[in-house]
Amino acid sequence: SAKYPVIAIDGPAAAGKGTLARQLAEVLELPYLDTGLLYRAVARRVLDRGGDPAHDGPEQARQLVPEDMRRNDLREPEVDQAASIVARHPEVRAALLERQRHFGRARGAVVDGRDIGTVVFPDAPAKFFITASPEVRAQRRYEQRHGQPCTDPTRLAEEVAAINTRDEQDAARAAAPLRPAEDAVMVVTDDLDAAGVLEHVCQILQEKGIIRR
């Protein structure tokens, strides 16, 4: 419907949002915005300055520069949790909101995060909520970070616990909690690889007339 469409991709940790969003952006020839990187960059700044993510963040969010999002150390496990904690501050979210909208409005975008379909782009013509069981997502994150599947049940249980803690925190917060938008299409990906998810989503976009054929 919009002249410059925004495709909103939300869901819990390690569901495959970024992988899907990056591929969709290529198919649709739209820019890609990973909004998790914004929260990770704020958390990174807080940690670097010896701050406490539970108390600090708003000032770091306001001072964020593009180079902060290009750092190579934003995907470390300590940043996963710290990002989720700084993301609870309404002032952090407010400081990042206009930045995200400005990016999407310029010429459309595929945008992934937690609140893209609910808060950032509530009028997006297509919204997807990508999910899978915590066990499947923990295995995906492990394999992504270590280059091989996790075969140690104790280690995998730790990864599941970290993912559950973060999802619960993201869903329970008052400001822009993780939840599917009413008009989001749910995609359960336990039994789909990345190519299968892309194919399924492209089919829905064709039905919506966003991809022509």
Binding residues: 11-19
Q: Say whether residue 16 binds ligand CDP (CB under 6 A).
A: yes
Q: Say whether residue 192 binds ligand CDP (CB under 6 A).
A: yes
- # of chain residues touching ligand CDP (CB under 6 A): 29
Q: Say whether residue 128 binds ligand CDP (CB under 6 A).
A: no
Q: Identify whether the C-beta of residue 46 lies closer than 8 Å to the C-beta of residue 148.
A: no
What is the identity of the amino acid at 24? L
Nearest to 38 by CA among 13, 7, 14, 63: 63
Nearest to 187 by CA among 166, 162, 205: 205
- Residues at the binding site for ATP are 11-19
Judged by CB under 6 A, the residue of 126, 150, 162, 197 near ligand CDP is 197
Sheet bearing 32-34, strands edge to edge: 32-34, 109-113, 6-10, 126-131, 185-188
Q: Say whether residue 24 binds ligand CDP (CB under 6 A).
A: no
Helix or strand or coil: residue 49?
Answer: coil
Judged by CB under 6 A, the residue of 18, 53, 57, 104 near ligand CDP is 18
Q: How far is the CB of 137 from ligand CDP (least distance, A)?
A: 8
Judged by CB under 6 A, the residue of 44, 45, 89, 140 near ligand CDP is 140
Q: Say whether residue 36 binds ligand CDP (CB under 6 A).
A: yes
Helix or strand or coil: residue 127?
Answer: strand
Q: Identify whether the C-beta of residue 22 lies closer than 8 Å to the C-beta of residue 29.
A: no
Q: Say whether residue 41 binds ligand CDP (CB under 6 A).
A: no
Judged by CB under 6 A, the residue of 115, 160, 185, 205 near ligand CDP is 115
Q: For residue 188, give every residue at least 6 positions away whose Cβ sits within 8 Å of its Cβ, in sequence order, or none.
A: 131, 132
| Structure tokens that stand for 34 in this block | 């990973």
Q: How far is the CB of 139 from ligand CDP (least distance, A)?
A: 9
Q: Which residues bind ligand CDP (CB under 6 A)?
A: 13-19, 35-36, 39-40, 80, 83-84, 87, 113-116, 140-141, 144, 166, 170, 189, 192-194, 197
